[in-house]
Amino acid sequence: MAYPVLNIDLDRIEHNARIIVDLCASHGVGVSGVTKAVCGHPQVAAAMLRGGVTGIADSRLENIQRMRGAGLDAPYMLLRLPSLSRVDEVTAWAGVSLNSEAETLEALSAAALRQGRVHEVVLMVDLGDLREGIWPDRVVDLAKSLMPLAGIRLKGIGTNLACFSGTVPTRSNMRYLAELAAEIERTCAISLDWVSGLNSSGLILMAGGGLPGRINHARIGEAILLGRETTHRKPRPGTYQDAFVLQAEVVELQRKPSAFKGEHGEDAFGGHPHFENHGDILHALVNIGRQDVAVEGITPLAPATVVGASSDYVGLDVSALAGTIRLGDVLSFHLNYAALLAAMTSPYVEKRCFSGRLFDHRIMYA
C-alpha cells in the first residue's frame, strides 16, 4: 500500500451520529449532518444518515453534486451563502440554503421559478460571531420582504456561533433567537419549521438544559466526525474521537542535532520556528507536509514529537523508538478539525473507508 492514507472508520462515524442524534432528539432538536470537513465524502454522509441525521448540509455545491452523483438520496442544505453567479445551481442541487441578502433571495426566487421549483431558505441572524447573518434589528423586515417571492419559502431562521470569532452559544442568545422567530411568525402570519440555533458548539448548553424549547434544529459536523464539542474541544460522552487516523511513511531516519545550525532567517512559510536544543536526536521525516495537512493539528500515536514541517515533510523526534523504528515504517496520527479538513481536501492523501476493526487504533505505529 502507498502512503499517506487517511483511514476512515464508518462504523464509528455512524455510532457518533446516533449518539448525537439521540441526545438532540431528547431535547426536541433535529440534526442535519455536516459533511464539509470531509469534502462531501459519500460514504461518510451515508454513515451519518444511517446514524439518524435527517439530512446532509455542506458548504460547497461541488460536494453536494458529488454526493448526489453517488446516488445518495437525502435532503441537502447549502451552508454557504449563495453567490449571485450560482443561484441556478443552488436551486437545482440544494433544497435549502442559508441566506442574509435581499438581492440574493430575489435571485434565488427567479432561479427557482425558471426551474419550476420552490426553494426553501433559512435567514441567518448574526448574534455576535460576525460570520454570516443579518443584524437582529433588520431580520423581521427582511422576512417580510421575501413573503411575496413565489419561488422561495421561508423555512426558518438560524445563527452560527463559535466559528468566526468564537462567540459561544448561551441561554441568553438562544432565547433572543427564539424571540426573533416568534416575532417573524407574528408579523408574517407564518409558522417556521426550523429555529436552527446550534452547531457542535451548542451541545454543552443543550445537554445542561439551557436551550429554549423553540430551538429545534442543529447543524452538526465535528461532534459526529471527531466526537467533540467545539468551544473547548471536549469529547462528547459515548463518542469516538478516532474515527479518522492519518498514516504516513518514514522516508528518512537519521541521527541529527535537535536545533538548527547556521544563520537563522524565515522558513518557507514566512515563520521563525524555534527549536529547543536537546543534543542529538533520532530524527524521522514522514511523507506528509503542509500541502497535505494542518501540521499543528496532528498528534502521533507513537511516543514521538512533531518538531517541524515543510510543504512535503513532517519532522519528528522519534528517539523513544530507537531500536524499533525502521525506514519504511508507517506512523499513525490523530487529527483535529483543521487537520482533518486539510487531509480530506488534499489530493495527495488516499482516503480509505472501512467498517469494523481493520486495524488496531491503539498501536503506536504500523
Instruction: Specify whether 36 is catalytic.
Output: yes
Q: Are strands 305-309 and 314-317 parallel, antiparallel or unpaired?
A: antiparallel
Residue 102, φ and ψ in degrees, nearest 5: -60, -40
Beta strands in 51-159 (DSSP E): 55-58, 76-78, 96-99, 119-124, 152-158
The catalytically annotated residue of 36, 144, 155, 261 is: 36
Q: Which residues have a Cβ under 8 Å from the Cβ of 344 and sit 6 or more positions away?
A: 6, 37, 38, 39, 41, 351
3-state secondary structure of 349: coil
Classify 298 as helix, strand or coil: strand
Per the DSSP assignment, residues forming a β-bridge with 298 are 335
DSSP line for 232-273: S-PBPTT--S-SEEEEEEEEEEEEEESS--S-----TTS---
Q: Nearest Cα to 162, choosing from 129, 203, 208? A: 129
Query: What are the phi and psi torsion angles at 131 (to 5°)?
Result: -95, -145
Cis peptide before 4, with omega less than 30 degrees from 0? yes
Residue 179: phi and psi, rounded to 5, are -65, -40
Catalytic residues, by residue number, are 36
